[in-house]
Structure 1
Amino acid sequence: MSAILTAENLYHRVSTSEGPLTLLNNISLQLARGESLAVTGASGSGKSTLLGLLAGLDKPSEGKIWLAGEEITAMDEEQRAAVRARCVGFVFQTFQLLPGLTARENVMLPSELRGERGAAKRAEEFLAKVGLEHRLGHYPRQLSGGEQQRVAIARAFASFSGEDAILFADEPTGSLDAGNGAKIIDLLFKLNAESSTTLVLVTHEQRLAERCATHLRMSAGAVESYEPLAGDDNFSEVSA
């Protein structure tokens, strides 16, 4: 399989009152199309920082990232946004739904911003896939936490299509109880299998990490360990 995501020698530093703080320390990885990767580690280990860089939400202090064949670290924000609009879906732990829009309208938004036709129909199809066809006209405040996360997942999967599609999810079950969390995990992998997308997850949950083909553990901004799924010969290359 060809690589859809490659990172080389990533460093990320921020300025603090006590001087520069290194959040990521020399991380390299490569992920094949259609593969799933779980990123785990203690709070403050750099997981969410890495996810944001890989998705093109920010630029590293040093290093290069290629996403769907394009070097996004050589781009400005407008150019990175165009790549994200084409092939990236992102599921946030805190849902990030717009309170003034209905479930249908929240899911429609990425397609509408791209000027695509049939945004409403596509939104309704994905909301039906996550079991919310009866909640199309409801606003986020009228939905439970589990329902809001399902809307966020529908929006992410409605954001892209094609072999270059890649979904990033930052603690997708972190705000949910155990029962709803288990449902969201099953839903993520079901939709991922149906759409043949690439999946990158940040999680504290071992049960979620074990569903992925590869598992990257982080500590203090660096790679602590990397474990491919037993018997899987299509695994990522990760180094620190």
Structure 2
Amino acid sequence: MQTLKNNWAVAAHGLEKIVPVAEGNLTIVAGVSLEINSGQSVAITGVSGSGKTTLLSLLAGLDTPTAGKVTLAGQTISAMNEDERAQVRLQHVGFVFQAFHLLPHLNALENVMLPLELAGKPHPRKRSLDMLKRVGLKERSTHFPTHLSGGEQQRVALARAFAVEPSILFADEPTGNLDGGNSEAVAQLLFSLNQEHDTTLVLVTHDMELAHRCEKTYTMSNGLLESKAALL
């Protein structure tokens, strides 16, 4: 594996995403450049439709840019095919989404174990049980997603994301589907686990209170990115 250039965990230069629509071409991300250092926590905020989720997908290698360059974990993923990007994600990246994305036919333990098994990590069952215990759900390990509350499902998703010990975590509106109490509990877990694992955090959110917990914030507007001062 390549080393992280200039200590960047994630970097983008001249990033654009343009998609065809009935009226012509729609620019979703317009020439974005940013560098996120290893271990840094960064929030990307903005109204719905501003391009922030598309930007996260580009940075994480879930989508490909129309133009520009993305470096993730020291590797230029914008020059890779999907299989190559998937391998980088498998080895270096964790994800937490607003909609949880747990597999309904797997119980909590199996959901956490799956990425460990795919990545060939040792002792997947023990590691998964340890992470479920860390998020307070070891006693619910055999329960399926439909038998878990929204807050519990998101805690399983956090356990799954951190079990693989990613160097970079991408979180897209991780508290967006939760009520106030569950939202705060998940937010506390997210930042506690992030600090414990020294993970680079890239957080997309419309919740400014959540964004303010990060070291740096950016605001997306009409596909453009504006940097804000560090908040810590």
Partner of 2:196: 194
Q: TM-score, normalised by structure 1?
A: 0.92
Aligned-partner residue type, residue 181 of structure 1: S
Q: Deviations over 1:68-96 (max 9, x none)?
A: 11000010000000000000001011000
Equivalent pairs: percent with the same residue? 55
Q: Structure 1: any 5+ residue segments left out of the alignment?
A: 231-240
Q: CA deviation at 1:153?
A: 0.8
Aligned-partner residue type, residue 58 of structure 1: D
CA contact (8 A) 2:45 2:218 kept: yes
Aligned residues: 227
Secondary structure of 2:113's match? helix
Residue of 218, 221, 224 corresponding to 1:219? 221
Secondary structure of 1:10's match? strand
Aligned-partner residue type, residue 108 of structure 2: A
CA contact (8 A) 2:165 2:197 kept: no
Could you list the structure 1 runs, at least 4 aligned residues long, displaced by more than 4 angstroms after superposition. Answer: none
Partner of 2:172: 170
Taking the aligned partners of 1:30 and 1:37, their CA distance within structure 2 comes to: 10
Aligned-partner residue type, residue 65 of structure 1: V
- Report the CA distance shift for 1:3/1:225 in structure 2 as closer, same or farther (over 3 A): closer
- Structural mapping, 1:11-160, within 5 Å: 11-160=16-165
Aligned-partner residue type, residue 185 of structure 1: A
Which moved further from structure 2: 112-121 or 47-56?
112-121
Secondary structure of 1:227's match? coil
Which moved further from structure 2: 151-160 or 96-105?
151-160
Taking the aligned partners of 1:227 and 1:54, their CA distance within structure 2 comes to: 21
CA contact (8 A) 2:145 2:153 kept: yes
Q: Deviations over 1:95-119 (max 9, x none)?
A: 0000000000000000111233311
Partner of 2:207: 205
Q: CA deviation at 1:158?
A: 1.2
Q: Does 1:5 align with 2:7?
A: no
Q: RMSD of the TM alignment (CA)?
A: 1.1
Q: Structure 2: any 5+ residue segments left out of the alignment?
A: 1-5
